A = this chain, B = another copy of it.
């Protein structure tokens, strides 16, 4: 998992408490720069899970219920779609018709993983460290 996803999850947790907060304060709380935070949050804004407003008294606000948002949603927004079609092997053009040596085993394993992440709401996983 990427550190960006971790930052995004911690940002969501904090927004669930502060209701609305400017990027500067939020970034300071998460110990990242405001610009970097904006970059991480932008796909979540585009997805509609977080709302942003520019100008004075602007900032970020949660626009969804963290109980209805899955960890998989956040991962896919921040890191891009999981892309079940393409294989885990790097430069391999692997398909069901011409599978790599791991195709079946890994497909099952990945399904197990994504199923678990899809079933986990963000609200259930943001109880971690506070910094």
Contacts and interface: CB of A to CB of B under 8 A. Distances in A.
Interface of A: 1-3, 5-6, 9-10, 13, 71, 88-92, 94, 98-106, 108-110, 112-113, 115-117, 120, 124-129
A92 B3 CA distance: 9
A105 B88 contact: no
B105 A71 contact: yes
Contact of A105 (B91, B98, B104, B117): B117
B129 A100 contact: yes
A1 B89 contact: yes
Nearest to A126: B101
Task: Give the one of A6, A9, A103 with max B CB within 10 A.
Answer: A6
A44 to B, nearest CB: 15
The 8 closest A-B pairs by CB, nearest first: A101-B128, A105-B125, A112-B112, A109-B116, A1-B88, A105-B120, A9-B101, A99-B128
Contacts of A115: 112
Given A6-B89, A103-B128, A104-B124, A109 B98 contact: no
